[in-house]
Amino acid sequence: MTSHLEQKNQHHSRTTMDAERPLRVLIIYYSRTGTTKKLAKVLAEMLNADLAEIRCDRYRPGIFRYLRAGYDSVRIKLPPIRFPPMAPHDYDLVLIGGPVWTSYPALPLRSFLAHPPGLPPRIGLFLTYGGHSDPVVAFEAMAASLSQPVAERLAVKAQHVADGSYVTAARAFAEVLSKVYRDGFKV
């Protein structure tokens, strides 16, 4: 039989171990052209995270598929997607990201958000966008699809990914997430 003091010490040990355990992060992303993929990989390196790519054959690179993506996005025609068999709920934090199309998250990302696998209580969002698309509306649409609050958000212009200047913003985002985790996700 375990005494109350032993139980308290065991609980304290678990809590201390959990606080010292590294943050387990999963990054789920969709990328049609590779821009968001580049950002996701840098974030994964900074956070020592696992990557899970949402795949969609309907919107591969090419001008006709680009036009189809824009047309489908305006019509909100959600495409079939493929997602690796993973258990996102086993992670401390899941980051979900993709490009902005016609002011909203890319359709494959919206397909994922329509039926996400079990997610942990802590979610972060990241988006890449061109100069003509405001990420605020896309973030609002993503947050509305989730049944939980969003911890942090990062928006990066595609041109900043292309010229490499996005790394500073990615590093700041990763540092905020790490600090929030060390503080017990109390923001």
The tens digit of pLDDT for each residue in 94-132 reads 999 999 988 899 999 999 999 888 899 889 999 999 977
- 2 backbone φψ class: left, alpha, beta (φ>0; ψ -120 to 50): beta
Fold of 23-182: Rossmann fold (3.40.50)
- Mean pLDDT to the nearest integer, 161-175: 97
Which residue, 105, 110, 104, 103, is CA-closest to 80?
110
**Between 42 and 187, where is the model more confident?**
42
Residues of the chain with pLDDT > 70: what percent? 88
- Per-residue confidence (pLDDT) for residue 68, from 0 to 100: 81
- Per-residue confidence (pLDDT) for residue 62, from 0 to 100: 79
Domain ranges of the chain: 23-182
Q: Are 61 and 33 in contact (CB under 8 A)?
A: yes
- What pTM did the predictor assign? 0.84
- Per-residue confidence (pLDDT) for residue 58, from 0 to 100: 84
Give per-residue pLDDT as tens, 62-78: 788 778 887 787 788 89
Confidence of residue 19 (pLDDT cuts 50, 70, 90): low
Tell me how far apart the alpha carbons of residues 178 and 5 are, in angstroms, rounded to a whole number: 32
Confidence of residue 10 (pLDDT cuts 50, 70, 90): very low
Q: Are 115 and 83 in contact (CB under 8 A)?
A: no
Confidence of residue 20 (pLDDT cuts 50, 70, 90): low
Which residue, 98, 100, 107, is CA-closest to 71?
107
- Per-residue confidence (pLDDT) for residue 166, from 0 to 100: 97
